[in-house]
Amino acid sequence: MSRLVMKFGGTSVADIERIRNVARHVKRETDAGHEVAVVVSAMSGKTNELVGWCREAGALHDAREYDAVVASGEQVTAGLLAIVLQDMGVTARSWQGWQLPILTSNAHAAARIEDINGTELIKRFKERKEVAVIAGFQGIHKETGRITTLGRGGSDTSAVAVAAAIQADRCDIYTDVDGVYTTDPRVVPKAKRLDKVAFEEMLELASLGAKVLQVRSVELGMVHKVRIFVRSSFDKPEDIDPKSNHPPGTLICDEEDIVEQQVVTGIAFSKDEAQISIRRVQDKPGIAASIFGPLAAANVNVDMIVQNVSGDGATTDLTFTVPASDYQRSMDVIGKAKAEIGYEKVDGAQDVAKVSVIGIGMRSHAGVAAEAFRALASRNINIRAITTSEIKFSVLIDAEYTELAVRTLHALYGLDK
Ligand code: ADP
Ligand code: ASP
Ligand code: MG
Q: Where are the domains of the chain?
A: 3-255, 266-412
Per-residue confidence (pLDDT) for residue 6, from 0 to 100: 98
DSSP 270: E
Q: What whole-number distance in Å separates Cα of residue 244 and Cα of residue 21?
A: 20
Per-residue confidence (pLDDT) for residue 313, from 0 to 100: 80
Q: What whole-number distance in Å separates Cα of residue 47 and Cα of residue 137?
A: 10
Percent residues over pLDDT 70 in the chain: 100
How far, in Å, from the CA of 239 to the mean position of ligand 2?
28
How far, in Å, from the CA of 375 to the mean position of ligand 2?
36
Would you say residue 260 has pLDDT above 90?
A: no
Would you say residue 122 has pLDDT above 90?
A: yes
CA dihedral in degrees (22, 27, 28, 33; nearest 10)?
140
Q: What whole-number distance in Å separates Cα of residue 263 and Cα of residue 383?
A: 22
Under 8 Å between Cβ of 138 and 102: yes
Q: What whole-number distance in Å separates Cα of residue 391 and Cα of residue 385?
A: 18
Under 8 Å between Cβ of 220 and 159: no
Least confident range of 27-31, 66-70, 304-308: 304-308
Residue nearest to atom 5 of ligand 1 (CA): 212
Would you say residue 388 has pLDDT above 80?
A: yes
Distant-in-sequence, close-in-space partners of 372: CB < 8 Å, separation ≥ 6: 357, 393, 395, 409, 412
Would you say residue 245 has pLDDT above 80?
A: no
Under 8 Å between Cβ of 363 and 261: no
Express each pLDDT in 40-95 by its tens digit: 999 999 999 999 999 999 988 999 999 999 999 999 999 999 999 999 999 999 99
Per-residue confidence (pLDDT) for residue 101, from 0 to 100: 97
Question: Is 3.40.1160.10 the CATH classification of the domain at 3-255?
Answer: yes
Instruction: Count other C-beta atoms under 10 Å from residue 374's C-beta.
Output: 10
CB burial of 129-168 (b: ≥16 within 10 Å; e: otherwise) equals ebbbbbbbbbbbbeeeebbbbbeebbbbbbbbbbbbbbeb
Per-residue confidence (pLDDT) for residue 105, from 0 to 100: 97
Length of the chain: 417
Residue nearest to atom 9 of ligand 2 (CA): 152
Q: What whole-number distance in Å separates Cα of residue 408 and Cα of residue 373?
A: 11
Distant-in-sequence, close-in-space partners of 253: CB < 8 Å, separation ≥ 6: 196, 197, 198, 199, 227
Who wins on pLDDT, 10 or 238? 10
Who wins on pLDDT, 313 or 237? 237
Cβ(212) – ligand 1 distance below 6 Å = yes
Q: What whole-number distance in Å separates Cα of residue 305 and Cα of residue 33?
A: 53
Per-residue confidence (pLDDT) for residue 312, from 0 to 100: 81
| Max intra-chain CA distance, the chain | 78
Per-residue confidence (pLDDT) for residue 126, from 0 to 100: 97
Conformational region of residue 249, where left means phi above 0, alpha means psi within -120 to 50, and beta covers everything else: left
**3.30.2130.10, 2.40.50.140, 3.30.360.10, 3.40.1410.10: CATH of 266-412:** 3.30.2130.10
Express each pLDDT in 167-217 by its tens digit: 999 999 999 999 999 999 999 999 999 999 999 999 999 999 999 999 999
How far, in Å, from the CA of 321 to the mean position of ligand 1?
24
Residue 156's pLDDT band (boundaries 50, 70, 90)?
A: very high
Residue 314's pLDDT band (boundaries 50, 70, 90)?
A: confident
Measured from the CA of 9, which atom of ligand 2 is nearest? 7
**Closest listed residue to residue 214, CA positions, set 246, 252, 262, 242:** 252
Express each pLDDT in 329-356 by its tens digit: 999 999 999 999 999 999 999 999 999 9
Cβ(148) – ligand 1 distance below 6 Å = no
Express each pLDDT in 99-121 by its tens digit: 999 999 999 999 999 999 999 99
Residue 253's pLDDT band (boundaries 50, 70, 90)?
A: very high
How far, in Å, from the CA of 136 to the mean position of ligand 2?
8
Under 8 Å between Cβ of 208 and 358: yes
Taking a 5 Å cut-off on Cβ, the residues next to ion ligand 3 are 9, 153
Query: Directed axis angle between helix 402-412 and helix 368-378, to 10°?
Result: 130
Would you say residue 315 has pLDDT above 80?
A: yes
Under 8 Å between Cβ of 13 and 133: no
Q: What whole-number distance in Å separates Cα of residue 254 and Cα of residue 197?
A: 8
Express each pLDDT in 50-64 by its tens digit: 999 999 999 889 999
Per-residue confidence (pLDDT) for residue 59, from 0 to 100: 85
Model confidence, pTM:
0.94
Residue 305's pLDDT band (boundaries 50, 70, 90)?
A: very high
Per-residue confidence (pLDDT) for residue 366, from 0 to 100: 87
Under 8 Å between Cβ of 359 and 264: yes
How far, in Å, from the CA of 177 to the mean position of ligand 3?
11
Which residue ranges have their beta carbon within 6 Å of ligand 2? 9-10, 41-42, 47, 73, 136-137, 152-156
Would you say residue 246 has pLDDT above 80?
A: no
Would you say residue 283 has pLDDT above 80?
A: yes
**Closest listed residue to residue 313, CA positions, set 346, 280, 276, 338:** 280
- For the sheet containing 196-198, what is the strand order? 92-95, 131-135, 35-40, 3-8, 170-175, 228-232, 250-253, 196-198
Measured from the CA of 152, which atom of ligand 2 is nearest? 9
Q: Provide the CB-side half-sphere exposure for 195 (13 A, CA).
A: 8
Per-residue confidence (pLDDT) for residue 300, from 0 to 100: 93
How far, in Å, from the CA of 179 to the mean position of ligand 1?
9
Would you say residue 310 has pLDDT above 90?
A: no
Per-residue confidence (pLDDT) for residue 415, from 0 to 100: 96
Average pLDDT of the residues of the chain: 95
